[in-house]
Amino acid sequence: MARVLIVYSTRTGQTKKIAELIAEGIRFEGPEAKVTNVTQIKTETDLQGYDGYVFGSATYHGEMMQPMKTMLFLAEKANLEGKVGGSFGAFGWSGEAPARIFDTMKNIFKMDMVDGPLRLKSSSLGGGTQMAQDYGKKIARRLT
């Protein structure tokens, strides 16, 4: 069974909600999905053993949150080349973080990126729930 790791960085919980909705979409299609706070990723071995990775951060002051930056330096050593990837994050107005994460996964880790980054103002507004679940389904379908 394919396995996907979803790692989120959040301050007020919106990005965690999106992570859980993406996981629902993945599980709907069959693969296993594990949702983890970025603070639980301590070494690159914590990132090993999955077929797909979805990394997300809220945007603050035009940037991804510091714990996600630190985690991406760990991920650089985890040999994720060719693995399926995606990125996401909650935002208020500019939402830079998901695209920054996506570009790093694509250009540095050389992952097989699905679609584009998922940016949501709120997981519960404007069809966001469906969009997040659909993003998870797309990740899952790329694995099978």
Ligand X SMILES: Cc1cc2nc3c(=O)[nH]c(=O)nc-3n(C[C@H](O)[C@H](O)[C@H](O)COP(=O)(O)O)c2cc1C
Residue 96 three-state SS: coil
- 99-126: b (≥16 Cβ within 10 Å) or e: bbbbebbeeebebbbbeebbbbeebeee
Q: Measuring CA to CA, which residue among 29, 30, 40 is closest to residue 6? A: 40
Q: Which stretch binds ligand X (CB under 6 A): 34-42, 66-74, 86-94, 134-142?
A: 86-94
Give least dist CB 12 to ligand X, A. Answer: 3
- Indicate the residue among 88 and 143 with the shorter CB distance to ligand X: 88
- φ, ψ of residue 115 in degrees (nearest 5): 55, -135
Give least dist CB 19 to ligand X, A. Answer: 9
Does 126 bind ligand X (CB under 6 A)? Our answer is no
Residues 30-69 that bind ligand X (CB under 6 A): 58-62
Residues that bind ligand X (CB under 6 A): 10-15, 58-62, 90-95
